[in-house]
Structure 1
């Protein structure tokens, strides 16, 4: 009874050692990028604050309510930037840990989906930075009552940015999620088309929940999500028509 347990224990221990190795490599990648970015922490925060500062009146600026905020907030920016930059390495380490247990066909499917997921996440963050943030800040600055000085706190501004980047980065994963559901035969393209109305309502409700309470940011999140849903349906149709290509 004890003999079959030994190979299982060795196999489990091997998986745990492999997992630890992959985690350490991922953490090391983040640490290396983070250390390299620390000297540029203030410049990184200035770049992130540029969309807001461009919409403030002449002389407008951000403020630091907490005493240590001017030191810690740029460091946090450098850390989150390091995680973003090291994301391909983190994804590869996760893939390298899971890949040995997959069939060859599953590997061929997973590779392009992983690449597409990473690329779409970056595209979503870029869309938020270059288009959404300037538009939202211009709208909010234009609606500020007379006699009120808009001077956001740098800590709360960073929290706001993280929510926006995460929301748009994940929302741009919609085509990948739809394709995965089609490939797993959870849904069919016809069912996705039938659910279009519910999805449109759902993305607008979701955008209203995770974005700031302004109509501009909600629309700029909901509309791309809907269009990306349509793109996912199109990709699902192509895969359904050509299973060999899938």
Structure 2
């Protein structure tokens, strides 16, 4: 590698370091601000469950440090989620100079739609899935059994559902990228609908708790989002032709 080639590489690494430092700083500032309300955030998170436990049981902390560590973990995840638009903005600023004009035309809408869809998936999990799931689990037990879920397990369950649905809602973007890059075609995807439908249930089985209810409530939106991605790909391909 010549000296002329080393200079651009070093400048790119310096730029990458600076952008990463900015992201870390933003996440740290958000964490500090959110940590002041960490306990309130946890109460908001478990509201779908706490409303059901008034007549069935209560939440407990089995670990000595759980009342302190659980809010910290929740605050850390919330800080990263809230910083996601800024993180993608920094990523776009780093990679955009190397993209062609026709690639930039799709990049910005894809980045924006990715953020919106991820937040939509998290919102769907919180407002729709968690109340139904918690209601199902609390009523499925035998009569006379007091339900006392651990606060750490509740947090882990909620975060797993948030990320599962957040990434599942990215399926339209992933489908469009597969078609745009030529890896597959709209026709090929349409022919494999039955396999994709089955695959959605397999993914739901792997990333959700081991019950048919949770698997189904993730698999069906995943397949619907796949169909949305196919429709969007077909429309854009038609416009380009």
TM range (shorter): over 0.9
Q: Deviations over 1:183-223 (max 9, x none)?
A: 11111111111010000000011101111122222111011
| Aligned residue number for residue 72 of structure 2 | 75
> Under a length normalisation based on structure 2, what TM-score does the superposition of the two structures give?
0.97
Report the Cα distance in structure 1 between the residues aligned to 2:174 and 2:20, rounded to whole angstroms.
Answer: 25
Report the Cα distance in structure 1 between the residues aligned to 2:18 and 2:144, rounded to whole angstroms.
Answer: 58
Change (3 A) 1:104 1:74: same
| Aligned residue number for residue 96 of structure 2 | 99
| Aligned residue number for residue 157 of structure 1 | 154
CA contact 2:57–2:148 (8 Å) conserved in 1: yes
CA contact 1:53–1:60 (8 Å) conserved in 2: no
CA contact 2:121–2:168 (8 Å) conserved in 1: yes
Offset of 1:54 from its aligned partner? 1.7
| Aligned residue number for residue 183 of structure 1 | 180
- Figure out how many residues of one structure are paired with residues of the other and give that number: 241
Q: Does residue 12 of structure 2 align to residue 15 of structure 1? A: yes
CA contact 2:169–2:222 (8 Å) conserved in 1: yes
| Aligned residue number for residue 28 of structure 2 | 31
Q: Deviations over 1:11-33 (max 9, x none)?
A: 11101100100100111111111
Q: Does residue 37 of structure 2 align to residue 40 of structure 1? A: yes
Report the Cα distance in structure 1 between the residues aligned to 2:195 and 2:52, rounded to whole angstroms.
Answer: 36
Q: Does residue 214 of structure 2 align to residue 227 of structure 1? A: no
| Aligned residue number for residue 236 of structure 2 | 239
SS in 1 for 2:52: coil
Runs of 4+ in structure 1 over 4 Å off: none
Q: Deviations over 1:86-105 (max 9, x none)?
A: 10001111111111111111
Offset of 1:241 from its aligned partner? 0.7
Report the Cα distance in structure 1 between the residues aligned to 2:142 and 2:2, rounded to whole angstroms.
Answer: 72
Report the Cα distance in structure 1 between the residues aligned to 2:136 and 2:157, rounded to whole angstroms.
Answer: 16
Report the Cα distance in structure 2 between the residues aligned to 1:178 and 1:205, rounded to whole angstroms.
Answer: 18
CA contact 1:117–1:173 (8 Å) conserved in 2: yes
Report the Cα distance in structure 2 between the residues aligned to 1:61 and 1:15, rounded to whole angstroms.
Answer: 53
Q: Deviations over 1:113-163 (max 9, x none)?
A: 010000000000000000000001111111112232211111111111111
Q: For structure 1, which runs of at least 5 residues remain unmatched after alignment?
A: none
CA contact 2:186–2:233 (8 Å) conserved in 1: yes
Q: Does residue 81 of structure 2 align to residue 84 of structure 1? A: yes
| Aligned residue number for residue 112 of structure 1 | 109
Q: Does residue 62 of structure 2 align to residue 53 of structure 1? A: no
CA contact 1:124–1:168 (8 Å) conserved in 2: yes
Offset of 1:59 from its aligned partner? 6.6
Of the three residues 167, 172, 175, the one matched with 1:170 is 167
SS in 1 for 2:36: helix
Q: Does residue 137 of structure 2 align to residue 147 of structure 1? A: no
SS in 2 for 1:60: coil
